[in-house]
A and B are shown apart, each in its own frame.
With several copies, the nearest count.
Chain A
Amino acid sequence: MALLVFLGRLADVAGAGQRAVEPGPLAEVLTTLPPALAIALLDERVRIALNGELVSEPEAIMLEPGDELAFLPPVSGG
Chain B
Amino acid sequence: MIDVRLLDQSFNPGQLAGLFSQAHPGLGGVCTFVGEVRGEGGVEALELSHYAPLTLPGMKALAQRAAVRFDLMGILIVHRTGVMLPGEPIVCVSAAASHRRAAIDATDFVMDHLKSDSWFWKREKKGAGWTWIEPRGDDYAAKERW
Contacts and interface: CB of A to CB of B under 8 A. Distances in A.
A26 B82 CA distance: 30
A28 B134 CA distance: 30
Nearest to B114: A75
Contact of B54 (A9, A49, A73): A49
B133 A7 contact: no
Interface of A: 5, 7-9, 11-12, 49, 51-52, 54, 68, 70, 72-78
Given A51-B53, A54-B54, 10 more contacts: A7-B49, A7-B121, A49-B54, A52-B57, A68-B53, A74-B134, A75-B116, A75-B119, A76-B134, A78-B136
Per DSSP, chain B at the interface is mixed
Interface string B123-146: 100000000111110110000000
A76 B119 contact: no
Contacts of A11: 49
Interface of B: 49, 51, 53-54, 57, 115-123, 132-136, 138-139
Contacts of A52: 53-54, 57
30 contacts: A8-B123, A9-B132, A11-B49, A49-B51, A49-B53, A52-B53, A52-B57, A54-B54, A68-B53, A70-B51, A70-B53, A70-B54, A72-B51, A72-B119, A74-B134, A74-B135, A75-B116, A75-B120, A75-B121, A75-B135, A76-B120, A76-B121, A76-B132, A76-B135, A77-B115, A77-B116, A77-B134, A77-B136, A78-B115, A78-B136
Contacts of A77: 115-116, 133-136, 138-139
A8 B132 contact: yes
For B54, B115, B139, the residue with the greatest tally of chain A CB atoms inside 10 Å of its CB is: B54
Contacts of A49: 51, 53-54
A56 to B, nearest CB: 15
Nearest to B133: A76
A31 to B, nearest CB: 25
Contacts of A78: 115, 122, 133, 136, 139
